């Protein structure tokens, strides 16, 4: 049996947009007879206590992992094996560029914005040795293609550039792009549902999977929740987390109802939403969340919910 997943970074409480994506990942998995897994992506941004808070928030909505939750920080051996495999195929090279070097290269005429220009790809052995004495190198992919395509349930056939992405940072931490590919394959995850801000990274991740001989998952990149100004929703926008809303007297069951109704689904329960769920009918536009209007929407939804004393604080 395959699996879908929700994989948050433990950087703080999840807001209603994050939770909406988690609900969608659960619905996609359950509607296709897959397991639903939760993975903590803690290689980079970590805030003390955030993991426990996030898992409690998800459980309050009825979203729990069908297998024990794993943490990327505990999978170093898995990543090292993948990196060694790629090194044995001459697919890796050392890169000594600083962020400033890369930014300046990207600003040069005819440069492709956001793509690494290959500055360190063909350094001589002597030059590499000299630079290695000055700073530890990152490890980059020696890509053999310029673009790669994936099939997305919502976006259709999507092709994007593939550059020499970082595989391991110069501080020794494995990169997000490699870690998620290795983790998904190891966990049997063959369905990736996540925010559409990550759509552009899917082709390079699928390409990495192909180089490692790993299966490429089915993708579904879903619209984000945005603030009224059009920027990504954040906790600074007001009462948009379960904790904030609970403090205002709105239990998780009512917040879940609002999330489900924003997807055009029955708000009474996850089970009722699952019965009505059709992946191709997922709204394609961002969910605009105005905290003041969200509160009124929650108040409208509250009478449809039974009295609840749901708690979200761990």
CA 130 from chain centre, in angstroms, equals 37
The predicted-structure confidence for 187-196, as pLDDT tens digits, reads as follows 999 999 999 9
Residue-averaged pLDDT of the chain? 92
Q: Is 168 annotated as a binding residue?
A: no
Beta strands in 1-52 (DSSP E): 3-6, 35-40
Q: Is 134 annotated as a binding residue?
A: no
244-269 mean pLDDT: 93
Q: Is 116 annotated as a binding residue?
A: yes
Q: Residue 112 above 50 pLDDT?
A: yes
Query: How far is the C-alpha of 304 from the C-alpha of 314, rounded, in Å?
Result: 26
Give the helix/strand (H/E) hosting 177. Answer: helix 176-186
Q: Residue 309 above 60 pLDDT?
A: no
- Using 50, 70 and 90 to split pLDDT, how confident is the model at 178? very high
Q: Is 132 annotated as a binding residue?
A: no
81-98 mean pLDDT: 97
Q: Are both 3-73+223-304 and 75-187+197-222 of the same fold?
A: yes
Q: Is 59 annotated as a binding residue?
A: no
Q: Is 284 annotated as a binding residue?
A: no
Domain 75-187+197-222 maps to which CATH number in 2.60.420.10, 3.40.50.620, 3.30.9.10, 3.40.50.2300?
A: 3.40.50.620
- Count Cβ neighbours within 10 Å for each residue of 110-125 and write b for 16 or more, e otherwise: eeeeebbbeebeebee
pTM (two decimals): 0.91
- pLDDT, residue 305, reads 44
Q: Is 36 annotated as a binding residue?
A: no
Domain 3-73+223-304 maps to which CATH number in 3.40.1440.10, 3.30.420.40, 3.40.47.10, 3.40.50.620?
A: 3.40.50.620
Q: Is 207 annotated as a binding residue?
A: no
Query: How far is the C-alpha of 180 from the C-alpha of 37, rounded, in Å?
Result: 13
Lowest mean pLDDT among 48-62, 104-118, 211-225: 104-118
- Give me the residue spans of the domains in the chain: 3-73+223-304, 75-187+197-222
Number of H helices, E strands in the chain: 11, 12
CA dihedral 230, 232, 238, 241 (to 10 degrees): 140
- Using 50, 70 and 90 to split pLDDT, how confident is the model at 213? very high
Q: Is 9 annotated as a binding residue?
A: yes
Percent of the chain with pLDDT over 70: 93
Residues in the chain: 314
Q: Is 219 annotated as a binding residue?
A: no
Cα 268-69-198 angle, rounded to 5 deg: 75
Name the DSSP class of 241.
B
62-71 mean pLDDT: 98
Lowest mean pLDDT among 92-101, 221-230, 287-296: 287-296
- Using 50, 70 and 90 to split pLDDT, how confident is the model at 78? very high
């Amino acid at each position: 049996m395959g699996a879908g997943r929700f994989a948050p970074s433990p950087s703080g409480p999840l807001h209603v947009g994050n939770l909406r994506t988690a609900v969608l990942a659960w619905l996609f998995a359950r509607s296709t007879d897959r397991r639903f897994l939760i993975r903590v992506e803690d290689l980079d941004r970590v805030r003390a206590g955030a993991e426990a808070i996030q898992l409690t928030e998800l459980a309050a909505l009825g979203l729990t992992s069908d297998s024990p939750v794993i943490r990327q920080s505990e999978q170093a051996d898995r990543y090292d094996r993948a990196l060694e495999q790629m090194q044995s195929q001459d697919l890796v090279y050392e890169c000594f560029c600083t962020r400033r070097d890369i930014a300046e290269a990207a600003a040069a005429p005819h440069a492709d914005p956001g793509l690494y220009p290959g500055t360190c790809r063909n350094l001589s052995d002597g030059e590499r040795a000299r630079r290695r004495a000055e700073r530890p190198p990152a490890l980059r992919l020696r890509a053999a293609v310029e673009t790669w395509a994936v099939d997305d349930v919502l976006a259709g056939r999507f092709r994007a550039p593939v550059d020499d992405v970082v595989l391991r940072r110069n501080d020794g931490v494995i990169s997000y792009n490699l870690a998620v590919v290795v983790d998904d394959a190891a966990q049997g995850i063959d369905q990736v549902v996540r925010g559409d801000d990550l759509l552009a990274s899917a082709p390079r991740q699928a390409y990495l999977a192909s180089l490692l001989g790993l299966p490429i998952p089915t993708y579904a990149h879903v619209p984000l929740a945005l603030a009224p100004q059009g920027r990504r929703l954040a906790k600074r926008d007001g009462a948009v987390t379960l904790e904030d809303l609970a403090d205002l007297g709105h239990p998780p069951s009512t917040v879940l109802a609002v999330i489900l109704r924003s997807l055009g689904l029955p708000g009474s329960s996850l089970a009722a939403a699952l019965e009505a769920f059709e992946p191709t009918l997922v709204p394609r536009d961002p969910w605009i969340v105005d905290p003041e209007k969200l509160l009124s929407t929650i108040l409208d939804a509250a009478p449809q919910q039974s009295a609840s004393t749901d708690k979200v604080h761990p």
